[in-house]
Structure 1
Amino acid sequence: MITDKEILVLYYSQHGATRQMAQLIARGIETIPGARARVRTVPKISAVCEATESAIPDNGAPYAELSDLEACAGLALGSPTRFGNMAGAMKHFWDGTSELWMKHALVGKPAALFTSSSSLHGGQESTLLSMMLPLLHHGMLITGIPYSEPELAATQSGGTPYGASHVAGLTSDMAISETEKKLCMALGRRLAQTALKLSS
């Protein structure tokens, strides 16, 4: 019996835009036969980097566990932009993955990234690049969006070769544009295709 390869879509979202992107990427993953998305999130943290939410979220995706990372065939990692970097909650999660690093559990697995910011020049690309750093330390293979995706050259809002992105607006109420949606789906498809090739 052949089982689908599971791609982990791991995100943090405060106002919902990054969560919507995660869902679009998961849809893109599941358009590829043999791939299945597992969507997970991380809890908020306090100013002293302690979890401030209950062990089970009130709604949305369950919280990620290290076993989700260890079992996945690939990873899509998403966070809103915080001054050109990933949100503290996501950084806190990755700071706790030394156990997997010691076991080389993520070496050779493909990864893709996505982010959302309130302004057009709000640090999307630096956030995507900085999110790559722990993944590179884990030995993951970074997958971006090539310019063979026509929306990448046509976008007037989010979308970069480093990963999918969205401009949410200063009040976080701007809908994800059709171009941004297509780029999220394309990133999910590309990640799933890469994971399947690497797993074969």
Structure 2
Amino acid sequence: MNTNQVTILVLYYSRHGNTKKLAEHIAQGIEAVAGCDARLRTVPAISSNITASEPEIPEDGPPYVELSDLADCAGLALGSPTRFGNMAAAMKYFLDGTAADWLSGTLIGKPACVFTSTGSMHGGQESTLLSMMLPLMHHGMLLMGLPYSHPELMTTSTGGSPYGATHWSGVDGRQTISEDSKKLAFELGKRLAQTAQKLHATR
């Protein structure tokens, strides 16, 4: 990786792979911007007694996130599947452990966006996006979504909102990501990268 690259952290939790796929489309949008690099990271699943229940190194896919990834990034895309209209416990568990970064202002002034995948069309896509925005606002991040200049927001029937990229995976999780949702995820990543690049240049 070129040391002059602006690094954008794409951090997600995915149980059945749909949020991961959405993260990959966002990463493609980020890397479509010259000088920007997407760093894909995930968080481990947790058990019912709120401890990590996965090995220290994932068996496949991106590495687990480290707090240093927050310091290194110029922007953040945060994603989680919906759990009762909220982010998954694994993502909340990670965010609850970022108090030191909150105290030191690690993320202040950095742009951020959010994305989610849901099993049902009206099962909490927008409320999950909003739930993920709250801790980012406490961290002082600059939240961004998708403007209606993207016509897919008016035509999509499978996900996508002005609050962030979404995907309707179906009850069995087998619904493929629609072309509209792919396009919106790509454009969200691209917009995040362009904004991060501009802000980074002024520091």
Provide the residue aligned with 1:64 in structure 2.
65
Spell out, residue by residue over 1:4-48, the C-alpha distance to the aligned partner (whole angstroms, 9 max, x if none): 100000000000000000111000000001110000000000011
Give deviations 1:36-89, integer Å, cap 9, x for gaps.
Answer: 000000000001110000000000010000000111000000000000100000
Structure 2 counterparts to residues 108-147 of structure 1, below 5 A = 108-147=109-148
Give, in whole Å, the separation in 2 of the partners of 1:70 and 1:188: 19
Q: Gaps spanning 5+ residues in structure 1: where?
A: none
Partner of 2:151 in structure 1? 150
Match of 1:192 in 2: 193
The equivalent of 2:27 in structure 1 is 26
Aligned partner of 1:88 in structure 2 is 89
Partner Cα distance (1:61, 1:2) in 2: 20
Could you tell me which amino acid in structure 2 is paired with residue 8 of structure 1? Answer: L
Alpha-carbon shift at residue 2 of structure 1 (Å)? 6.4
Q: Following superposition of structure 1 onto structure 2, how do residues 159-178 of structure 1 map, counting pairs within 5 Å? A: 159-178=160-179
Regions of 4+ moved over 4 Å: none
Q: How many residues align?
A: 200
Unaligned 5+ residue runs, structure 2? none
Q: Does 1:180 find its partner at 2:188?
A: no
Q: TM-score normalised to the size of structure 1?
A: 0.99
Aligned residue number for residue 13 of structure 1: 14
- The two structures, once aligned, show a CA RMSD in angstroms of 0.9
State the Cα distance separating 1:157 from its structure 2 match. 1.2
Tell me which amino acid in the other structure corresponds to 1:3. Answer: N
Cα deviation digits, residues 98-129 of structure 1 (max 9, x gap): 01011001000000000000010010000000
Inter-partner Cα distance in structure 2 for 1:185 and 1:110: 16
Q: 2 CA distance for matches of 1:27 and 1:99?
A: 31
Normalised by the length of structure 2, the TM-score is 0.97
Identity of aligned residues (%): 61
Distance 1:49 1:168, change over 3 A: same
Amino acid paired to 1:131 = M
Find the aligned partners of 1:129 and 1:138 in 2 and give their Cα distance.
15
Letter of the aligned partner of 1:179 in structure 2?
Answer: D
Residues 125-163 of structure 1 show CA distances to partners (whole Å, capped at 9, x for unaligned) of 000001000000000000100001111111111000000
Aligned equivalents of 2:184, 2:55: Cα separation in 1: 33
